[in-house]
């Protein structure tokens, strides 16, 4: 079965999904936006695991475009997948790194056997990426990853974009229609 790509407007920390993706930073130690909300609502277990991951595997921090998983703490999910989006640049094309966030998060989700994966609009807040461009990159990257999945056993049933406000929802709706 081909995974469904769905859109909802809302707070990602209120979603039920096997895996929720966090728009983290390289430190893995929290921040504002989605990151702050996930740690606030998810509780201290997530940060404790982030610290351990940082110490054992990523002493220098998680590189941009990569993804790692932790517990979801008190969130209504089994896992949080932390990925680090690129900071928007007007002079350098970093879109491959943004696409990599989606691809790597889906790879980690497949390793975990997650059937439903919820993404925020990575890099479109504090990291300043223009929303329409980020939406196209996100939708294209997810479609490509789902097409490339080695078989139905590893492909999720649903990939959900969770958009914080109506404007972001509409931009993603257009991107989904344009690349469909
Ligand atoms: N649920 C869904 N979407 C949200 C939520 C939420 N609870 N809160 C914000 N958004 P951002 P980034 C939207 O800044 O740009 C952090 O400090 C928001 O409107 O969370 O990747 C990290 O620690 C925007 O469209 O992530 C990093 O330092 C989108 O989610 C840095 O920010 C992403 O905004 C990462 O910046």
ipTM for the assembly? 0.99
Query: Model confidence over 28-87: pLDDT tens digits?
Result: 999 999 999 999 999 999 999 999 998 876 577 899 999 999 999 999 999 999 999 999
Give the number of the atom of ligand 1 that is nearest the alpha carbon of residue 32.
17
The CA 33 to ligand 1 mean position distance, Å, reads 4
Terminal-residue alpha carbon distance, the chain: 17
Give residue ranges with CB within 6 A of ligand 1. 11-13, 23-25, 31-35, 37, 85, 120-127, 162, 164, 168
Instruction: List the one residue out of 167, 100, 164 whose CA is nearest residue 132.
Output: 167
Query: Model confidence over 142-159: pLDDT tens digits?
Result: 999 998 866 656 679 999
Which of 23, 35, 41, 47 has the most ligand 1 atoms within 8 A of CB, as the residue to mutate? 23
Nearest CA to ligand 1 atom 5: 34
pTM recorded for the entire structure: 0.97
Residues in Cβ contact with 76 at an 8 Å cutoff, skipping those fewer than 6 apart: 14, 15, 16, 17
Which three-class secondary structure state does DSSP give residue 67?
strand
What are the distances in angstroms from CA 66 to CA 25, 29, 155? 11, 15, 19
Which three-class secondary structure state does DSSP give residue 77?
strand
């Amino acid at each position: 079965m081909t995974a469904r790509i769905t859109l909802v407007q809302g707070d990602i920390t209120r979603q039920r999904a096997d895996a929720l993706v966090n728009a983290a930073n390289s430190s893995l130690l929290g921040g504002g936006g989605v990151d702050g909300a996930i740690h606030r609502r998810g509780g201290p277990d997530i940060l404790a695991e982030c610290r351990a991951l940082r110490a054992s595997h990523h002493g220098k921090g998680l590189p941009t475009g990569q993804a790692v998983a932790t517990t979801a703490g008190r969130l209504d999910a089994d896992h949080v997948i932390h990925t680090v989006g690129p900071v928007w640049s007007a002079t350098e094309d970093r879109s491959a790194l943004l696409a990599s966030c989606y691809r790597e998060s889906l790879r980690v989700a497949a390793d975990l056997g997650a059937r439903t994966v919820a993404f925020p609009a990575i890099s479109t807040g504090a990291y300043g990426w223009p929303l329409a461009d980020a939406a196209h990159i996100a939708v294209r990257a997810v479609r490509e990853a789902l097409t490339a999945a080695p078989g139905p056993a590893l492909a999720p049933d649903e990939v959900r974009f969770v958009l914080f406000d109506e404007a972001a929802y509409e931009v993603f709706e257009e991107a989904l229609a344009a690349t469909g």
